[in-house]
Copies of this chain bind each other. A is one copy, B any other.
Amino acid sequence: MAEPLKVGVAGLGTVGASVVRILQQKAEQIAARAGRPVVVTAVSARDKGRSRGLDLSNVAWHMDPSQLARARDVDLVVELIGGAEGPARACVETALGAGRPVVTANKALLAKHGVALALAAEGAGVTIAFEAAVAGGIPIVKTLREGLTGNNVSRVFGILNGTCNYILTRMEKDRIGFAECLADAQRLGYAEADPTFDIGGFDAAHKLALLAALAFGVQVDPDGIYIEGIASITPFDLAMAEELGFRVKLLGVATQSESGIELRVHPSMLPKDSAIARVDGVTNAVEIDGDVVGALVLAGPGAGGDATASAVIADIVDIARGAKLPVFGVPAAELTAPKRAPMGTHQGGYYIRLSVLDRPGAAAAIATRMAEQGISLRSIVQRGREPDFDRPNADPVAVVLITYATNEAALRVALDAIEADGHIDGAPQVIRIEKR
């Protein structure tokens, strides 16, 4: 059997501790699969005293992750510190500078510095593997980078944030509001104390930037991603979706359109019998549409120490086996600058909820504004307030419209006109419909 692969693990949080534990407990099995022993020789974390249930007696301890990255007894550096800058970035750059491959779960780092780091890795003749950075334990990076090399991908989309999917699923099933549901998710540990990064869609956007690079061969660039979070979704929207044959999910969508590449994270309505629509709770799921293979769907645990460690270890074993893989599927210098499609050119169906002032002519005026922009309506749902059937009154009533595929710019013009007409109360709720 070949020489052992000496692994240094920087960051001993939940994932890091799980990686070390599994590499130690399953040493024999992993050696059989890797064709050589895989040994943790060094770790780095801030708090040496903390109990992690690990036997680190034969493992070098480095206070500074960059010191670990250049230590003599390390062949491969696992970066699980997190953050786009600071010690994580320094650790990865030091490892690449020392000619060592890197395995990381750090989506923020790669979303921001992915191209530069990939170039550095290629210059050093090593790779950066990041299966754990996207959708936890689901082998989506491997599938895009290796499993679909004969395909042109037209769309990759899915549920990339388990916190949001947990909240939307519970709001739907228990008919409770967003705020209550979020508080509950925080109590149960499914949402952070500051949940903005998850519920605002920013976490999903980082992952989407990485998926788009792999799927389309474009440079990683999270800055231009269109992002909406889930805070505006109401139980009424979820109930209407159900009634109209949809479910609401926070999706990350990367798609090739005539105007360029659309990269967007927002609540979406999906036909309720579609594979992604049916995924509940903290589970993640991604669909890939390839021109040769058709539609593939991968679903599984998107977070958690063990699921993420599973992906980290797969990357380590790939490297132990001698895999030489381009970081984003093609040489970094060949990644093209993405031509971004502005959201105004997006074509699709829309769910629109208006709070209409219940007076004569309102419905006609709304329908006219839509027609002026050439927008056809597939469904219109308005329910009178019971038991008041006698006459309109001053309280607004919810009217829900489902449009056929239309252009987002045209829709915005129509909605602006409807607002200006003064028939509605407050801003319209707009949820895009993602086609099957």
Q: Which residues of A285-318 are within 8 A (CB) of B?
A: 290, 292-301, 304, 306-307, 309-314, 317-318
Q: At the interface, yes or no: A186 with Cβ under 8 Å from chain B? A: no
Q: Note all chain B residues with C-beta closer than 8 A to A139.
A: 139, 142-143, 146-148, 296
Q: At the interface, yes or no: A278 with Cβ under 8 Å from chain B? A: yes
Q: At the interface, yes or no: A56 with Cβ under 8 Å from chain B? A: no
Q: At the interface, yes or no: A379 with Cβ under 8 Å from chain B? A: no
- In whole angstroms, how far apart are the Cα atoms of A411 and B257 in the complex? 58
Q: At the interface, yes or no: A35 with Cβ under 8 Å from chain B? A: yes
Q: Note all chain B residues with C-beta closer than 8 A to A295.
A: 300-301
Interchain CB contact (< 8 A) of A293 among B32, B307, B331: B307
- In whole angstroms, how far apart are the Cα atoms of A189 and B239 in the complex? 41
Q: Note all chain B residues with C-beta closer than 8 A to A334.
A: 32
Q: Which residues of A310-347 are within 8 A (CB) of B?
A: 310-314, 317-318, 321-326, 329-331, 334
Beta-carbon contact of A146 and B32 below 8 Å: no
Q: Note all chain B residues with C-beta closer than 8 A to A318.
A: 146
Quick check: which of A149-157, A162-170, A228-236 contacts chain B, the rest being far away? Answer: A149-157
Q: At the interface, yes or no: A253 with Cβ under 8 Å from chain B? A: no
Beta-carbon contact of B294 and A148 below 8 Å: no
**Closest CB-CB distance, A317 to chain B, in whole Å?**
4
Q: At the interface, yes or no: A393 with Cβ under 8 Å from chain B? A: no
Q: Given A150-B313, A321-B325, does the pair A294, B290 have CB atoms closer than 8 Å?
A: no
Interface of A (DSSP majority class): mixed
Q: Note all chain B residues with C-beta closer than 8 A to A26.
A: 150, 152
**Closest CB-CB distance, A128 to chain B, in whole Å?**
16
Beta-carbon contact of B22 and A314 below 8 Å: no
Q: At the interface, yes or no: A217 with Cβ under 8 Å from chain B? A: yes
The bracket for how many chain A residues form the interface is: 35 or more
Please state the number of chain copies in the assembly. 2
Q: Note all chain B residues with C-beta closer than 8 A to A312.
A: 150
- In whole angstroms, how far apart are the Cα atoms of A275 and B146 in the complex? 25
- In whole angstroms, how far apart are the Cα atoms of A151 and B147 in the complex? 20
Beta-carbon contact of B331 and A35 below 8 Å: yes
- In whole angstroms, how far apart are the Cα atoms of A184 and B283 in the complex? 38
Beta-carbon contact of B150 and A331 below 8 Å: no
Q: At the interface, yes or no: A30 with Cβ under 8 Å from chain B? A: yes
Q: Given A32-B331, A142-B146, A321-B324, does the pair A299, B296 have CB atoms closer than 8 Å?
A: yes
- In whole angstroms, how far apart are the Cα atoms of A317 and B139 in the complex? 18
Q: Note all chain B residues with C-beta closer than 8 A to A330.
A: 32-33
- In whole angstroms, how far apart are the Cα atoms of A149 and B148 in the complex? 20
**Closest CB-CB distance, A313 to chain B, in whole Å?**
3
Beta-carbon contact of B290 and A149 below 8 Å: no
- In whole angstroms, how far apart are the Cα atoms of A322 and B319 in the complex? 12
- In whole angstroms, how far apart are the Cα atoms of A23 and B151 in the complex? 11
Q: Given A294-B137, A296-B137, A324-B322, does the pair A147, B142 have CB atoms closer than 8 Å?
A: yes
User: Which 5 pairs show the lowest CB-CB distances between chains A and B?
Assistant: A150-B313, A139-B147, A137-B293, A293-B310, A296-B300
Q: List 12 A-B contacts (CB under 8 A).
A: A30-B149, A137-B290, A142-B147, A146-B317, A151-B310, A292-B306, A292-B309, A292-B313, A293-B300, A294-B304, A297-B298, A298-B299
User: A151-B310, A293-B310 given. 7 additional CB < 8 A pairs?
Assistant: A139-B148, A149-B314, A296-B298, A297-B297, A297-B300, A321-B325, A323-B323
Chain A residues with CB under 8 Å of chain B are 18, 22-23, 26, 29-30, 32-35, 131, 137-139, 142-143, 146-152, 217, 275, 278, 290, 292-301, 304, 306-307, 309-314, 317-318, 321-326, 329-331, 334
